[in-house]
Structure 1
């Protein structure tokens, strides 16, 4: 009887032990990535490969980084035994002389004591992305700096009125088409709409606000008020300017944008590529002035404002910057890395096609 009891006890312990051993386990191909050096304003991308080397399903609960400059992308969070998943990490070289970013991966795998991970400090894998940051040129604007300042002007008048005269960089979306075409605008952008004298702008802002475009405003008094106060400043026109006027009465949206504020914040964004490349995709608010024609615009561009030029990769932007600087413009700038670097960092955000 004693031998039988001992045998049963051993079997129970064996079964219990087998159950206890079964668990998920996370491993990574290389936990540390040294990118060497990169210029200020550029972005580093690296993919770590995570694998479940245990014998139970691994659930990746969340991934967090030690720096707000870092984002991660994980296409799957549940891994069967033996399965792997790529973890893409993007680190922006936004300041300083170096980066040393930690990425913590939290899962349902037990810790070394067999306890479940149940708090923020109890991570399973710590990954590292590190390297040096080289200083940039003072005339370069990083994509994140341009994105932070991005201002989208929307002219609500019909195509003929827009063609006759409009603010530099404004895109044309007639008021009666706004509801159908607002999807081309970025919800995080500062959007300033205007018409001739304020007739439709307030209602347009209300439409945008109702659709989640929470940084939407209307130019107080419209284009005619602008002409009355600012004259032809920042305007492109083929015909005489509209008559001065425009109502300054506040609308129901309560989102007027002061003319003086717009004048202070105004900048010009110039796409230096040819017309076909521009039509295929360009940054919101960019004017198309091919590099060979830039000097023809020197008497129309505002000398005291930031003028940001870009091409695909910076090939012609440096020469354009030098031409503007030699011509006496106060604040010529280059979009760092051109449109290629923008798309590398932001995808198609703020990119429009004709």
Structure 2
């Protein structure tokens, strides 16, 4: 039996005569994790639809109910990092270079781009999700940047979103990898709409009946009005947002710019809120060096352009695949599943500044950077 394509594409006809492109990540058994071939296929198809005047809008979705996309295929990245010989790191380098470029290009997509956020939306999958101009969170949405748990760093434009998010939640998400639900994501600007998954066929009917035209701005406006109406008529019960109830506490923990002091305040928590406790546990079991990178992202990101963010994140990714924590984190959490990563440093306090500076330093001269042309 032939293996199903990892990317499915179709064009839905509409009453106006225009088409709606639908791109489905189709690896539900792996929570739609993307590899290099999928990244390239997404890039090629989206460029085709961008240039096709018949395509009025595009939907991004994941197959199955578990996930839109749980991130990159880190098993393949692990194999690349642990290979011996001249091809070591080659796949990982190619993957990150293609993924970040593809996402930067998608951020320039001017037609309405709808992302259907169902189930897990994490890491690189979240990077794809936030490219969309109309991001929908459903009752099952579980959104996070969980890279601290595997020794990577929040990437694929995470620097931009975390540093522009209202305090303290950008730093909280980066340090703890905490899962956010649909209401929380809307409050933080990570989604634009929160609605029940029962609205999927209703949304398709809406898209069929909208008066699509050549004026892209008008198309966005009509779509926005239609999706807002769907949001107001949803029947599913959406999870309660936890931000307001916890904002004062988290703000106290994350005050200032001293990561060691932040960690000390968090470790002193003696409450019983499961969400907060899980976040604290993620930080202290996660990679100490990643926590330092996250703080650098918050410090620098707010003053960077999106192009600068993408280029800098590629620098950090290049360094990360050559530093031992990333491979060790994937080994412990995904390959061997002993859940006991042996990080290079025992705790946040033990990470020297020189280690952090090396991780965030570009390996390329300015005029030789792979993204000098974007």
Same-fold status (TM-score > 0.5): no
Higher strand share: 1
- Higher-Rg member (1/2): 1
Greater RCO (CA < 8 Å, at least 6 residues apart): 2
- Give the TM-score category using the shorter length: under 0.3
TM-score relative to the length of structure 1: 0.23
- Provide TM-score, normalisation by structure 2: 0.22
